[in-house]
Amino acid sequence: MSESLNHKNYSQYIRFKVLVLVVLLTLLIFLALADLALGSAGLSLADVGKAVFGLGDRKVVTIVQKMRLPRVATALVAGFGLAAVGCVMQSILRNPMADASTLGVSPGAAFGAAFAIVVLNSGIQSPSDASVSFANPFTLSLCAFVCSMIPTVVILSLSRLQRVKPESMILTGVALATLFSGGTAIIQYFATTTQLGSIVFWTFGSLTSTTMREVWIMAAVTAAAFVFFFLNRWNYTALLSGESAAKALGVNTDALVIGSMIVCSLTAAVTTAFIGILNFIGLIAPHIVRRIIGNDYRFLLPASALAGTCLLLLSDLLSRMILAPQVLPIGAITSFVGAPVFIYLINRRNRRP
């Protein structure tokens, strides 16, 4: 009787979590379609559906495939990757505040972008143009990527030489983030007005500066990272019980932490290098989902990734609708959406008996 009851409870446990995943996927599809359809052109869903496959009016096809589809695809890939990275980092570092910025990845990318804009003259070509483009986006992205990986190399080197613990990794990341922020401030001090505007524009974050080629690069890295994360889903769940408990279950915690850090940093670095800094996506998406389905990484990991995508799509919609036809910086919108939600989650957690 007890075995039958336990089996029934476990079935209900699984069904509920699968239902949450289905709801998140449905919400993602709805937001993606809304993001494709809404805009000053006044397109219907039918027009958008045809234009995605190159059918219908030529002007509509151009608007959808050249302007809206790359932006929505960028939001899908970036939100998915950043949220998955945040979810994994919170496990391996055993810190609810862990995300890409915790290890200095985002500040490192900002320093690299500022260096490329000021020293290598890769800033915005003409700030007055309606469509903003950088003089040398490849150089800018490359510098942002290289500098965003420096904190990871430093932290991993210390972990190999000094055997530092996850808590020490976080503190080292915070110190490096402060160092890079200081370096960015110094570069800004010597920048011209146009260069300073380029730095500010990049640090705001943008979903409109990527081409489909860059989206495919981000998608390939994100897909490979998610496969790695999902193959280690049991290990992440075990690690939440503590390093000793995970080792007792046969988890090679040292290899797991180092390998996951490399993959997380690489994924976040590639995404940040192409789209700039987007705050809170990787931080709050796992927290929101965790309150609903718990810490089982079989479901928490994909649910966090889907929630991150939904948050970024929603932020993109808000950035274009609040002061339409003016488009607000996506990074500012993610901060305005994320900060109140995160404060609410912290307060609810602290009120628990």
Cα–Cα–Cα angle for 294, 77, 155, rounded to 5 degrees:
70
Q: Residue ranges per domain, the chain?
A: 2-350
Task: From first to last of the 353 residues of the chain, give the pLDDT tens digit.
Answer: 445 546 567 778 788 899 999 999 999 999 998 888 876 666 667 777 777 777 777 777 777 777 788 889 999 999 999 999 999 988 888 777 778 877 888 889 889 988 988 888 776 555 444 344 565 677 888 888 889 889 888 888 877 776 667 777 788 888 898 999 999 999 989 888 888 888 888 888 888 878 888 899 999 999 999 999 999 999 998 888 877 888 888 888 888 888 888 898 889 888 888 888 887 888 889 988 988 898 889 999 999 999 999 999 999 888 888 877 777 888 888 888 777 877 776 676 555 44
Cα–Cα–Cα angle for 214, 217, 223, rounded to 5 degrees:
135
> How many CA atoms, within 13 angstroms, populate the side-chain half-sphere of residue 2?
0
Q: Quickly tell me which residue has 């609410």 as its tokens.
A: 344
Tokens representing residue 154 in the block: 């430093």
Dihedrals phi, psi of 134, to nearest 5 degrees: -90, 150
Are 191 and 117 spatial neighbours (Cβ–Cβ below 8 Å)? yes
Side chain identity, residue 125: Q
Tokens representing residue 92 in the block: 């391996």
Q: What is the CATH number of domain 2-350?
A: 1.10.3470.10
Count of beta carbons in the 10 Å neighbourhood of residue 4: 8
